[in-house]
Structures are given as C-alpha cells and as structure tokens.
Structure 1
C-alpha cells in the first residue's frame, strides 16, 4: 500500500459506485461471501473488487480475523463516506422523482436550539403552500451547522456566523433578535418570587451551552458584570430536550434559554420563567447559506419566505 494518498482526480476516475456498495455490504455482514451475494457478485469477483478499491485508495481497508473481515480505522472512515454517498444518491433520486411528478423536492435545514420555534413557523408556512415537500431538520450548535453547510449536507441554517474563523465564506442576514430568559422547574424554590437578582441564583447548578458558544458567553458576561464568580459545577448540553428533562428531574437547576423556547415550554407547564432581567444584548439569529452555492428551488422558496415575512434586523 502507498505511504501517501492518491490524488482526488485519481480516486474519482477509478472508484465505482458498485465498489462503494460492496464496502457497505462488507461492513454489514463481515463476510465476503454474503457481501458478494448482496451486490450480485461472485466471491472471486468481490475479492477482486475489494483489492481494486484498496489499490485505488492506497490503503488497507479490512483485516481478516477469526470473526471475518473487520474494517481498519481507515476502513471505517471510507465506509462512513460510502454510506453518505449512498444516502445522497437516494435523496437525488427522490428529489428528481418528486420534481418529475410535480411535487417539488427536498429541503435540508439546520437550526440552533433557540431558533426552533422560528423555524417551525417558517416550515409550517412553506408546507401549507407546498404540502408534498420532504424536509430534514438538524438541530445543533452554530459551529456544527456551519460545518454541515461546508460539506453540502444542509441547504441553509439558522445560526450565527460570528463563531466561524471565516465568516466571509457565508451569505447571512439577520432575521431575529434573540432575547434570553432564565428558566427552572415549576417546583423551583424561587419560582414564585416577585423579582430576582443574579446573585440569588449564583449557587444554583446551571444547565448551559458549551464554552465559547454565544449563549454561554452571554451568561458569563452577566456574572462578570454583576461581580459574581461564574458557577463551577455546570451541566453542558446543546439539546433542548435534555435541558428540559434536567429541569424536570432537578427542581434546583436553572437554565438559560431563548425567550421563544422558554415561552413555549412554560405554555405547556413544563417550566417557569424566573423574574430575572438580563442586561447583556445577545447576537441576532441569521439565515445562513454557503457563499457561491447554487440553491435548490425549494431552498430558494424557503429563503424568499423569510425575506417576505421576517423584517431583516441588525
């Protein structure tokens, strides 16, 4: 095997989709015979195809063990991308079929937790006008969503480009000023207090975003400006469901959420918004696309809906 990887041009000219199907089958079954049957090859044909794949990539992808063929570390990497390519081809066919049948297409959109209510409102409007659309929603941090945009896994995202070292790589416009609220269980000892100061919650265990994320930085500034030590014992998560579950199970926990999410949860009696006024202004949400990317008709519909219904801010 080679000590260096072949060029991309060499890989793309020699690699075939059937070979990728074989890799996935080998991963699923661990048996050359069963994998060969799944992709309609003879066992010698499958063995030759595997040798050709490894020669094309210049690395060993599987090792033989008493349990069958097992992927190497590089094998796991290649198999993961083979599955992504197969998924993309499935989506390609589905979208082509939908367009041919006059149904529209498919939209992949990402969102940070605080913007979930904003996104669901927008998607509701879009689906009312185009009910046959297929939609994939990914909820994650801004950093992760921007990486998915870079990889072409998302059409667009509601997040913030300020966390990127290269915000110039994206087209973004402000769509919503974020307001933050401190929330807790309805059983929290201070749930019915008429008003609170941050010092009243300084010893609480906080459920927060990871370090360097905008919402976390906002909370850190609040503690700094109040001349309070930032809590040492934190629960870090990017999941709204995990946050709510922690608050439900632990009446002394508190969390920082967007007002939109906090009001949604409070409306259903899951949490209580504590009467604490925050002084730090948060960054607005942005609707973000990869600069220079040709948007699909469905993504353009979504973008145009925002342009009509959400007044740009900022």
Structure 2
C-alpha cells in the first residue's frame, strides 16, 4: 500500500515555507545555510523538514557526512515547488497589471511562417480590443520555441510539436495545415520552367531552415523520397525576410509555406516552381504547458488567434 497521502491532505497541510526550505536546501546543500536563507534557526528548519517528510511519507533529502542531497522524491518535490513559486510570481504580476488598468503580459513564440501572417493579424486585432495588453514575441523554429516553453520562458507557442520532443507535459490545439512549395525569384532562370525534378534542382543553392526544425525534416525527406542527395550548397536561416531577399537578389531557391508567398506584398517578384512535396508538414497550432494555469492575458491571446484563424478559413 502506498505511503503517499491523498492530494487533499497535501493541499491542506503542506506549507509554502516548507517548499521554500526545499529550494534553499537544493541550492546550498546545507541545512544551516538553507535555514539562514529563509530566516529561521537550524533546529526549526530540521523540524520543518521532518514534518514535510512525515506528511509526504518519503525521505526527501539524504543526510551526507557533509551536507544534504535530494533523493528522487526530493527532486520531484523541488521541480513542483519551482512551478508553484513561478505561478505565484505570475499571479503577482497579473494582479499588479490589473491594478494599473492593464490586462497583463503574454510572452509568445511563433514560427516564422505564422509570425508574418496569423500572428501579425492577431496582434493588430488584439491591440484594438486590449490596447494595454503587453506582449513579447520570439520568432524561431518549433524545436527552439517548444524548449523555451518547457523552461517557462514562453507562455504559449504558435507552431508545431517537433519530432522527438518530450510532449507529455504539452497541450496541442490544432489550427490547420500548411502546404509547402519551392520558390525562386521571378528573375531566376528556373522560374519560367513548366516541369522540374528534384535532380535538376539538387545542384542549386538552397535557402533552408536549420536542423532539426519540422520544415527542414520535410525537405530532407523529399530529397530522400526522390533518391537524390541533399544539396551540398545550403544557406540556413529562420528569417522569412532573409529568405525572400536572397531569392529576389540571387539565383538561390528556397522552401516556404504557400501562404507566405500568397500573403507577400511583393508576390510578383517570386515564382512558385512546378514541383510538388509528397511529405506533408504536421499541423500547426497553439502549444501550452499541460499544468500551467492560463492567465487572463494568455486566454485573451489564445481566443484572438482562434478567431483570426477562423476568419482566414472562411
């Protein structure tokens, strides 16, 4: 029979100061220094640790000849203690924002293709209805953004869950799919071709996203399916503007979602090449942490994204 008590008992008896002590013990590895850090005597800290271990029914720290070290049980408690205090800090920020008349702050990650379309439209709409909402935007590939989300550096990601990501703590709300296309500048000699093969394009310079982004994986898969080596001349960038500028000024070619080309004001300066992708990108959507409580600012942003995507789909 498990020694771990029911959640209701933990909720009623575990105290924030006990969690603060765990974090201090993890940081200093010494009961005396941890006690000093949170402003209590060493005997009182020892008693508090015993009470927490008694409540949870497990040993949280090993007593070593010199100092203390968290057990696997202790490491789990420390992980959740950090989340508790991060959420409390978020609560304080939101209360302060509401007090000053702001809705609060939301930190958003977006993949480049969505940053120039869906995200831009969402921000424009949201700032009309919530002018004092503070927003911070990071544009990067899905693998970088999801890692930042899991480290609590972002509130929400507009992108894809990368292959191999530890996704058990993520929630994914699908918004749709995108079709990829190979593009060139209108001045490129291949722009006027009526039919092209992967072999013909293999020797050109390609502008692609870095590994291990989902889009790069799809491009590599397309070459593999065509039994053609991956190009040896590649320029890597996550910037849509850098990609489009390079294509217009050189004879390089690149890959981007079709929506980026269709939304681009200089559409006449680009050409979609007559070659199709068999592998498809996974759906894009809103990615959040499973156990993260959504602030008012997060909820407002998520609702606005869904509304903009619904408008675009109609």
| Structure 1 and Structure 2 fold alike (TM over 0.5) | yes
Counterpart residue number, 1:6:
28
Partner Cα separation in structure 1 for residue 163 and residue 237 of structure 2? 17
Shift in alpha-carbon separation, 1:114–1:15, aligned structure 2, 3 A: farther
**Contact map agreement 2:119 2:305 (CA 8 A) in 1:** no
Question: Could you tell which deviates more after superposition, 93-102 or 110-119?
Answer: 93-102
Matches within 5 A, 1:71-82: none
Alignment gaps of 5+ in structure 1: 17-88
Query: How far does residue 212 in structure 1 lie from its aligned partner after superposition?
Result: 2.9
Q: Does 2:248 correspond to 1:248? A: yes
Counterpart residue number, 2:274:
275
Q: Does 2:303 correspond to 1:299? A: no
Counterpart residue number, 1:138:
138
Q: Describe the superposition over 1:219-272 as per-residue Cα deviations: whole angstroms up to 9, x where unpaired.
A: 11211222222212211122223222322332x211111112222336454533
Q: Helix, strand or coil for the counterpart of 1:261?
A: helix
Q: Helix, strand or coil for the counterpart of 2:182?
A: strand
Alignment gaps of 5+ in structure 2: 1-25, 40-88
Shift in alpha-carbon separation, 1:93–1:249, aligned structure 2, 3 A: farther
Partner Cα separation in structure 2 for residue 283 and residue 8 of structure 1? 48
Shift in alpha-carbon separation, 1:239–1:221, aligned structure 2, 3 A: same
Shift in alpha-carbon separation, 1:187–1:304, aligned structure 2, 3 A: same
Query: How far does residue 276 in structure 1 lie from its aligned partner after superposition?
Result: 2.3
Aligned-residue RMSD, C-alpha: 3.1
TM-score of the superposed pair, with normalisation by structure 1 = 0.66
Partner Cα separation in structure 1 for residue 252 and residue 152 of structure 2? 38
**Contact map agreement 1:244 1:270 (CA 8 A) in 2:** no
Query: How far does residue 12 in structure 1 lie from its aligned partner after superposition?
Result: 10
Partner Cα separation in structure 1 for residue 285 and residue 35 of structure 2? 36
Q: Helix, strand or coil for the counterpart of 2:158?
A: strand
Q: Does 2:233 correspond to 1:211? A: no
Matches within 5 A, 1:1-314: 6-7=28-29, 14=37, 96-116=95-115, 117-250=117-250, 252-265=251-264, 267-308=266-307, 310=309
TM-score of the superposed pair, with normalisation by structure 2 = 0.66
Partner Cα separation in structure 1 for residue 188 and residue 134 of structure 2? 41
**Contact map agreement 1:181 1:262 (CA 8 A) in 2:** no
**Alignment length, in residue pairs?**
235
Partner Cα separation in structure 2 for residue 190 and residue 266 of structure 1? 22
Question: Could you tell which deviates more after superposition, 133-142 or 262-271?
Answer: 262-271
Counterpart residue number, 2:69:
none
Shift in alpha-carbon separation, 1:223–1:104, aligned structure 2, 3 A: same
Shift in alpha-carbon separation, 1:304–1:200, aligned structure 2, 3 A: same
Shift in alpha-carbon separation, 1:13–1:166, aligned structure 2, 3 A: farther
**Contact map agreement 1:159 1:285 (CA 8 A) in 2:** yes
Q: Helix, strand or coil for the counterpart of 2:189?
A: coil
